């Protein structure tokens, strides 16, 4: 295969929409912009939330309360079944090992959940464990260490 022999799959390339070229083309007269007014003009656009000068809804509603989004603690989540798929030489599992394997983002706190089965002993270090995950790791002969 060479670059000059590559072709697009059927339906990948569309004709350019030619507006304002007569009624027969389907995009004549107003060129798909409808009637007159602000939105038919070039550069004419109305910002989101604008209600024609009426007091917009987002200004009518009270903005009170607290949002925890900035202060939340987010965890990278890995299931016990994913630990079983790791390389056979790995005996100690932590956030760095899982980041190298592509299961969590680098520097994320780690939480282990109990979906799946584990057949070999692993020493798992994480910030949190679900009850079933801890039980499955210990049943397989490993240890769950909260760090």
Find the CATH number of the domain harbouring 134: 3.100.10.10
Q: State how many domains the chain has.
A: 1
* pLDDT tens figures, 7-46: 999 999 999 999 999 999 899 999 999 999 999 999 989 9
**Is residue 100 within 8 Å of residue 93, measured between CB atoms?**
no
Q: Could you tell me if residue 133 is inside a domain?
A: yes
Q: Could you tell me if residue 52 is inside a domain?
A: no
Q: Could you tell me if residue 104 is inside a domain?
A: yes
For a pLDDT cut of 90, what percent of the chain falls above it?
93
Q: Could you tell me if residue 58 is inside a domain?
A: no
Q: Could you tell me if residue 94 is inside a domain?
A: yes
Q: Could you tell me if residue 5 is inside a domain?
A: no
Is residue 118's pLDDT more than 90? yes
Q: Could you tell me if residue 32 is inside a domain?
A: no
Range of the domain at 119: 73-146
Is residue 107's pLDDT more than 90? no
With bands split at pLDDT 50, 70 and 90, how would you rate the model's confidence at 122? very high
- The C-alpha R_g of the chain, in whole angstroms, comes to 29
**Is residue 129 within 8 Å of residue 107, measured between CB atoms?**
no
Q: Could you tell me if residue 9 is inside a domain?
A: no
What average pLDDT does this structure show over 47-65? 94
pLDDT value of residue 81: 95
What average pLDDT does this structure show over 80-92? 93
With bands split at pLDDT 50, 70 and 90, how would you rate the model's confidence at 1? confident
With bands split at pLDDT 50, 70 and 90, how would you rate the model's confidence at 108? confident
């Amino acid at each position: 295969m060479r670059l000059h022999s590559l072709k697009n799959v059927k339906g990948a390339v569309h004709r350019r929409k030619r507006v304002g070229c007569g009624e027969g083309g389907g995009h004549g007269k107003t060129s798909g912009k409808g009637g007159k007014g602000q939105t038919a003009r070039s550069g004419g656009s109305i910002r989101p939330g604008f209600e024609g000068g009426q007091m917009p809804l987002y200004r009518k509603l009270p903005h009170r309360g607290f949002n925890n989004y900035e202060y939340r603690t987010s965890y990278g989540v890995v299931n016990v079944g994913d630990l079983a798929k790791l390389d056979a030489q790995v005996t100690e599992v932590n956030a760095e090992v899982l980041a190298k394997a592509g299961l969590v983002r680098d520097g994320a706190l780690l939480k282990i959940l109990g979906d799946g089965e584990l057949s070999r002993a692993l020493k798992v270090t994480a910030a949190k464990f679900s009850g079933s995950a801890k039980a499955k790791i210990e049943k397989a002969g490993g240890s769950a260490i909260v760090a």
